[in-house]
């Protein structure tokens, strides 16, 4: 498993954790498709991945848009023919007291952090069911395991990500699909991280 080349889709890959994941997997020469809203950030990450010898495609998309997300997976399947690993990392945060958080801010955080993961999991699972194999890795947060001050919307979205992953793991294990959730704090992606299994 460790030496086999995988076809991997990474969301939120333009910066931060998503970029770090992409660079780590590029070292293993996997086939990557990187997504984010910022084309410039994607192009930068992709260039670094290609310098490591990886086959790397980019696709700028708003993952809160259902039809755009469906199109992403159609493009991915057309390009690679199978989806081995889906990594849902796209996210954002609003950090303020609950009484100062608007409904618009709440909805935007939930839509970006867990709504996009729901859509990606739904479309990715359709491909993986046909293969009878696949791995989903959802990036949540330590905030998805306990409450922190001034993080009501962000914490709720990350708790939801944990719950979503648990349900997927149960519902689709019969199809050979594995679902994992990572709850990082600061600087979790060390040389001994979960990413080393790929």
pLDDT at residue 191, as a whole number: 44
- CATH number, domain containing residue 140: 3.40.50.720
16: left (phi over 0), alpha (psi -120 to 50) or beta: left
Residue 31 lies in a domain: yes
Pick the closest to residue 47 from 57, 38, 36 (CA basis): 57
Pick the closest to residue 139 from 8, 51, 11, 2 (CA basis): 11
For residue 40, how many other CB atoms are within 10 A of its CB?
A: 10
Distance CA 81, CA 89 (A): 22
pLDDT at residue 197, as a whole number: 41
| For residues 164-179, average pLDDT | 97
Distance CA 82, CA 99 (A): 45
- pLDDT, one tens digit per residue, over 96-132 is 999 999 999 999 999 999 999 999 999 999 999 999 9
Residue 182 lies in a domain: yes
- What's the domain range around 118? 7-192
Residue 195 pLDDT grade (very low, low, confident, very high; cuts 50, 70, 90): very low
Q: CA separation (Å) from 92 to 84, 149, 173? A: 26, 17, 29
Whether 29 shows a pLDDT value over 90: the answer reads yes
Q: CA separation (Å) from 165 to 55, 192, 196? A: 28, 23, 20
- pLDDT, one tens digit per residue, over 36-94 is 999 999 999 999 999 999 999 999 999 999 999 999 999 999 999 999 999 999 999 99
Residue 172 lies in a domain: yes
Residue 59 lies in a domain: yes
| For residues 6-24, average pLDDT | 95
- pLDDT, one tens digit per residue, over 144-166 is 888 889 999 999 999 999 999 99
- 3-class secondary structure per residue, 71-102: HHHHHHHHHHCCCCEEEECCCCCCCECHHHCC
| CA–CA–CA angle 157, 127, 39 (5° rounding) | 60
* CB-based burial label for 52 (10 Å; 0-12, 13-18, 19+): middle
Q: Are strands 7-10 and 31-36 parallel, antiparallel or unpaired?
A: parallel
Catalytic machinery residues: 154
pLDDT at residue 186, as a whole number: 58
Residue 1 lies in a domain: no
Residue 122 lies in a domain: yes
Residue 197 lies in a domain: no
Distance CA 63, CA 58 (A): 14
Provide the domain count of the chain. Answer: 1
User: Residue 134 pairs with which residues in a beta bridge?
Assistant: 177
């Amino acid at each position: 498993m460790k030496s086999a080349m995988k076809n991997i889709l990474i969301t939120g890959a333009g910066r931060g954790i998503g970029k770090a994941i992409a660079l780590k997997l590029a070292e293993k020469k996997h086939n990557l498709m990187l997504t984010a809203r910022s084309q410039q950030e994607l192009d930068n990450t992709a260039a670094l991945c290609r310098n490591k010898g990886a086959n790397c495609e980019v696709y700028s998309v708003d993952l809160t848009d259902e039809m755009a997300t469906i199109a992403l997976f159609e493009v991915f399947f057309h390009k690679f023919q199978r989806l081995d690993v889906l990594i849902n990392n796209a996210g954002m945060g609003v950090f303020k007291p609950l009484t100062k958080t608007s409904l618009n801010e709440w909805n935007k955080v939930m839509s970006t952090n867990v709504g996009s993961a729901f859509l990606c999991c739904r479309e990715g699972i359709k491909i993986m069911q046909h293969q009878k194999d696949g791995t989903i890795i959802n990036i949540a947060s330590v905030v998805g395991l306990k409450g922190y001050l001034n993080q009501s919307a962000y914490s709720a979205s990350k708790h939801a990500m944990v719950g979503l992953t648990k349900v997927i793991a149960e519902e689709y294990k019969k199809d050979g699909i594995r679902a994992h959730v990572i709850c990082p704090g600061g600087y979790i992606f060390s040389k001994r991280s979960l990413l080393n299994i790929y």
